[in-house]
Amino acid sequence: SPRLGKGTNYRSFDKVLPIPNHYYSSLARWHQLAMMRGNGDLRELQQLARTALDPAPLHDFITIVDHDLGFALYRAVSDTKVALSSRDRVEFR
C-alpha cells in the first residue's frame, strides 16, 4: 500500500495532512476495490491526488480502482506469495 500512496500527505489549505488510511483497507479484499468506484471513494481519491505532495502513487491507486484491476492485483500478490515459498526472491508485476 505505500506504493499506492499510503503514508503520504496532501495539502488542505495551509495544513499538510496524511492521506486517510481507510482507503487502503479495501486492498485486503479485491471485490471491495470494485465497490470504491460507486461509493464515492474514487472521486475522493481523485480530489486528494490534486493536492497530494506526491500524486504519482495515488494515481496508480486510482488506476487500479478506475480500471477494475483489483482481482488482477490480488492474483499477482497471491502468485508472488506462492513463488516466495520456494524461492528467496521473485519479481512482482
What does the alpha-carbon distance between residue 48 and residue 11 come to, in Å, rounded to a whole number?
9
What does the alpha-carbon distance between residue 28 and residue 37 come to, in Å, rounded to a whole number?
16
* Cα 78 versus chain centre, distance: 16
What does the alpha-carbon distance between residue 67 and residue 74 come to, in Å, rounded to a whole number?
14
The full set of domain ranges for the chain reads 2-68
C-alpha grid cell, residue 39: 461509493
The string of pLDDT tens digits covering residues 9-43 is 999 999 999 999 999 988 878 888 888 988 899 99
pTM of the model: 0.85
Rg, Å, the chain Cα set? 15
The string of pLDDT tens digits covering residues 75-86 is 999 999 999 999
The string of pLDDT tens digits covering residues 60-80 is 999 999 999 989 999 999 999
